[in-house]
């Protein structure tokens, strides 16, 4: 059974750094891309970026380029999303999901999702 | 402002059919595959339709997808109260070189 298990909720202050995780199991982790999606309170889904779990190839949405860093460690089947300096506007639920299809070929969909990590940034 | 445009809400009675539209452009929907996601209240999104009209294993055939030009439509027949959720379309945008979602549509089953 494919599963993506995310790290727990975080409460941080503005300016602090943070790294949240997403551990995959039940499939060959390095063979797939992992995507991250933001959902701000009461709002819709926003595609942040994806990483090839077997290497370092990463693609970011222009809206998130330079704001976050996506990484992965295939040896422990885990992907990460990190911030160097959080802002109150980063308060949101963050989902990781397995990217199926091949985005470069225009076939880009997220077939399995993690449970989400709630990040709250408040002074 | 989302790249893909969906109606904010739709509603229908139990047992009826509803359609949810999603419109885009030549840089996204027209030339790439589209997927649909269902997000029940308080839960993570779930893949409902991929490659415009294919259903993952376990998704009932009450759910269907179609595409025409720069628009796609999600159809749900035999509506149930358990279908009350937010529905999102998603695709790749070749101009942005990034994935994009619609703003989401809230389905109410009256």
Residue B33 touches chain A, beta carbons under 8 Å = yes
- Read off the pLDDT band of B45 (50, 70, 90): very high
**Cα B12 from Cα A34, distance rounded (Å):** 36
Please answer yes or no on whether B32 and A115 come within 8 Å at the CB atom: no
Please answer yes or no on whether A114 and B44 come within 8 Å at the CB atom: yes
- Read off the pLDDT band of B17 (50, 70, 90): very high
Please answer yes or no on whether A106 and B50 come within 8 Å at the CB atom: no
| β-sheet bridge partners, residue B34 | B91
Residue numbers in A near B101 (CB within 8 A): 37, 44-47
Residue numbers in A near B37 (CB within 8 A): 45, 110
From the CA of A76, how many Å to the nearest CA of chain B?
23
Residue numbers in B near A97 (CB within 8 A): 45
Supply the pLDDT for residue B102.
98
Supply the pLDDT for residue B2.
87
Render chain A in DSSP notation, one character per residue.
--EEEEPPPEEE-TT--EEEEEEEESS-GGGSEEEEEEE-TT--EEEEEEEETTS--EEE-TTTTTT-EEEEEGGGTEEEEEESS--GGG-EEEEEEEEEEEGGGTEEEEEEE---EEEEE--
Return the percentage of chain B with pLDDT > 70, whole number.
Answer: 100
Statement: residue B37 has pLDDT above 90: yes
Please answer yes or no on whether A113 and B45 come within 8 Å at the CB atom: yes
| β-sheet bridge partners, residue A102 | A107
> Nearest by CB to B99, which of A47, A114, A116?
A47
Supply the pLDDT for residue A56.
82
Supply the pLDDT for residue A25.
97
Report pLDDT digits (tens) over A80-101.
999 999 999 999 999 999 999 8
- Read off the pLDDT band of B75 (50, 70, 90): very high
Mutate to test the interface with A, among B5, B89, B92 (most CBs of A within 10 A): B92
Cα dihedral A29, B89, B76, B11, rounded to 10, equals 130
Supply the pLDDT for residue B1.
82
Supply the pLDDT for residue A104.
81
Statement: residue A60 has pLDDT above 90: yes
- Residue located via tokens 């709250």: A120
Statement: residue A103 has pLDDT above 90: no
Supply the pLDDT for residue B42.
95
């Amino acid at each position: 059974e494919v599963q993506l298990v995310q790290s727990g909720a975080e409460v941080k202050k503005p300016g602090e750094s943070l790294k949240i995780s997403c551990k995959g199991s039940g499939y060959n982790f390095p063979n797939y891309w992992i995507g991250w999606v933001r959902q701000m309170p009461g709002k819709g889904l926003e595609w942040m970026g994806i990483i090839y779990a077997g290497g370092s190839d990463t693609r970011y949405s222009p809206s998130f380029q330079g704001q976050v860093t996506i990484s992965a460690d295939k040896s422990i089947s885990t992907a990460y999303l990190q911030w160097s300096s959080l802002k109150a506007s980063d308060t949101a639920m963050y989902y990781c999901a397995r990217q199926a299809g091949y985005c470069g070929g225009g076939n880009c969909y997220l077939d399995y999702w993690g449970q989400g990590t709630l990040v709250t940034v408040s002074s | 402002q989302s790249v893909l445009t969906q109606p904010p809400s739709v509603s229908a009675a139990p047992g009826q059919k509803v359609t949810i539209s999603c419109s885009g452009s030549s840089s996204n929907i027209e030339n790439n595959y589209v997927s649909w996601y269902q997000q029940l209240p308080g839960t993570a999104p779930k893949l409902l339709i991929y490659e415009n009209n294919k259903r993952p294993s376990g998704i009932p055939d009450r759910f269907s997808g179609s595409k025409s030009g720069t628009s796609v439509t999600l159809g749900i027949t035999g509506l149930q109260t358990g279908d009350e959720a937010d529905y999102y379309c998603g695709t790749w945008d070749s101009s942005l070189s990034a994935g994009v979602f619609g703003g989401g549509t809230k389905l109410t089953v009256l």
